[in-house]
Structure 1
Amino acid sequence: MNTMRPAGEPDYTDADFQRVRRIAQEEAGIYFPDTKRTLVYSRVSRRVREAGHASFQRYLDFVQAPGGRNEMEKLICALTTNVTSFFREKTHFTHLEEVVVPRLAAQVRAGGRGRLWSAACSTGQEPWSIAMSVLSAFPDAHGHDVRVLATDINSDVVSQAAAGIYPRAEAEAISAEKQSRFMEPYGDDALRFTGGIRSLPAFRVLNLNADWPMKGTFAAIFCRNVVIYFDEATRERLWCRLAERLEPGGFLYVGHSERVASKNQCGLEQVAPTIYRKEP
């Protein structure tokens, strides 16, 4: 059934919605139920207009053509949200500082390496929060082989995250002590991460449902408020892939509405409502 839009708005049909839904599933593992038809329109229609197409059909034809790969990335980015804040779900960072980092510090000082992963870093508040927590509990971490891998499917937000610049209002969740220690004024009303902390995060573009280039394991992985976009099979597959990348005894942090169901399959033991530990 064709749905006519107001003048100037691209035509959008049920077939278009089904097509966007298939693309999202195939490209990024994102699942949109029938109830999200209007949401899909609101997120994609801007891309249709900016790419200069009069209808979703013509836009999707272009996206799926050989020359449309760059626009395909922009489409997937439009379908995902990037809501985040510093030290969001503070219990995770308390656990990180009190449980994970002391073990990581001992491992690193004995000649090993320490790796943590922010698996959907968005505009960077999560990995920078991880880095601040690491340095709060392990002040000389930046002088050792310690890194925070920060990845996201959206190249625009990865670039923004790597810059490490945030409005002062957004940085209010960071204590005055941490602001003074890790940040410096930037422009009229912003703060920028500075000094040794900048050596910890490494920002990369990565689709969690594609191949992963990294080979090592992590002491902790933050993968929060990501699987809510996936169907059950994709969720369970991702949990197990993440578990494989954890060190024995390493921790997985998930979003407040997320659960890892397949303990026997993935070897993850729940130690708190949103914290899982890989069996040693």
Structure 2
Amino acid sequence: MSELRPLGKEYIFTSAHFNTVKSLLYQFAGIKLAESKDAMVYSRLVRRIRALKLPGFSDYFDYLQANESEHQEFINALTTNQTAFFREPHHFEVLKRHLQAHPQTKRIWCAASSTGEEPYSIAMVVAEHFGRFNTPIEIIASDIDSAVLKKAQLGIYPIERIETVSDERKKMFFQRGKGAQLGNVRVVPELRQMLQFTRINLVDNFWSIKTPIDIIFCRNVMIYFDKATQESILKHMMLSLAEDGLYIAGHSENFNMFPQIITPVGQTTYKAVKGSVSAKTEY
């Protein structure tokens, strides 16, 4: 990376600036930025610099250190949120079978809910299993990004986002927008009420969530952490998981390097190693 202002760019952005961003994002969220993300970092953070009317990146870093409230804006700007309804559909078949085999299931956590497509997909399967919206299962939807959580709580999406959803589910779980909302759909209120939205940073020592958790969906999140952080989060999650609970990972994730913590029981589906750290009581 050049130490001078990149051609056509309005702010000087140096290797030192990029390294500072990497260090701060790891400090705040445990996320490791790849060296190839310099252009992404520049394009996203200049929006904050402009909004705050600051002269440049160094001034922004000073502002960031002096204003803790900016930490969340910094994290929001740099986290990527890619999701879809019923993405990796085999996991929802796993969920369906688990609900059938474990009628005592009481708590499901979607640990990276993004704009809501994943936790709403979970809620649809739960509602279908019970044949009603009012179920005994608590569904927690969390994310580190407060901005996407607000979008998730609204439950409003462009109609093309539900193209892959079955016609039956479209009729049961979505309302078509009219007037100003023409071209959008909204999740029905009964489905929205099945979810509890909360901001959780996975690298924090305490999570504001009851345990034990019967199923944890944490898909395509661990890839952003280094091995030490992955191990720490996995230990925390296995401590939170019910004795016969499931941990559902993303297609790009593999935890063979942690055989003492977690063991595979299906395609990107895991359980805590017996006798390790599974939770036994609720708090």
Q: TM-score if structure 1 supplies the norm length?
A: 0.90
Which residue number corresponds to residue 111 of structure 1? none
Aligned equivalents of 2:12, 2:257: Cα separation in 1: 42
- 1:198 deviates by 2.5
The offset of 1:71, in angstroms, is 2.1
Q: Deviations for 1:180-239, whole angstroms, at most 9, x for unmatched residues?
A: 111212231121121532321111111111121223121111111111111111111111
Who is 1:20 aligned against? 21
Matched ranges for 1:77-226 at <5 A: 77-98=76-97, 100-104=98-102, 106-107=103-104, 114-140=106-132, 142-186=133-177, 187-210=181-204, 211-226=206-221
Verify the 8 A CA contact 1:97 1:136 in the aligned structure 2. Answer: no
Contact map agreement 1:10 1:53 (CA 8 A) in 2: no
- Residue aligning to 2:224: 229
Which residue of 2 is the match for residue 248 of structure 1?
Answer: 243
8 A contact 1:270–1:277 mirrored in 2? yes
Q: Kindly state the Cα deviation for residue 248 of structure 1 after the two structures are TM-superposed.
A: 1.0
**CA separation of 1:134 and 1:40: change in aligned 2, threshold 3 A:** same
State how far apart, in whole Å, the 2-side matches of 1:38 and 1:248 are: 44
Q: How far does residue 74 in structure 1 lie from its aligned partner after superposition? A: 1.1
Number of the residue aligned with 2:281: none
**Cα distance in 2, alignment partners of residues 103 and 218 from structure 1:** 16
Q: Is the 8 A contact 1:85 1:125 kept in 2?
A: yes
Cα deviation, residue 11, structure 1: 1.3
Please report how far the alpha carbon of residue 174 of structure 1 lies from its aligned counterpart in structure 2 after TM superposition: 1.3
Deviations 1:141-166 (Å, cap 9, x if unpaired)?
A: x3332121000111111011011111
Relative to structure 1, the CA distance from residue 178 to residue 43 in structure 2 (aligned partners, 3 Å threshold; closer, same or farther) is same
Q: Quick one: distance in 2 between partners of 1:195 and 1:152?
A: 21
SS in structure 2 of the partner of residue 143 of structure 1: coil
> CA separation in 2, counterparts of 1:34 and 1:143?
47
Q: Please state whether the residue corresponding to 2:245 is helix, strand or coil.
A: strand
- The answer to whether the 8 A contact 2:175-2:185 is kept is yes
TM-score by length of 2: 0.89
For residues 87 and 116 of structure 1, the distance between their equivalents in structure 2, rounded to whole angstroms, comes to 16
Question: Is residue 72 of structure 2 the alignment partner of residue 73 of structure 1?
Answer: yes
- 1:84 alignment partner AA: T
Distance 2:135 2:169 in 1: 21
Give the secondary-structure state (helix, strand or coil) at the position aligned to 2:87.
coil
| SS of 1:25 mapped into structure 2 | helix
What residue ranges of structure 1 are gaps of 5+ in the alignment? 109-113
Q: Is the 8 A contact 1:151 1:203 kept in 2?
A: yes
2:58 matched to 1:57?
yes
Structure 1 moving runs of 4+ over 6 Å? none
Shift of 1:117: 0.6
What residue ranges of structure 2 are gaps of 5+ in the alignment?
Answer: 275-283
Whether the aligned pair in 2 keeps the contact of 1:236 and 1:260 (CA below 8 Å) is no
Provide the secondary structure at the position in 2 that maps to 1:132: helix
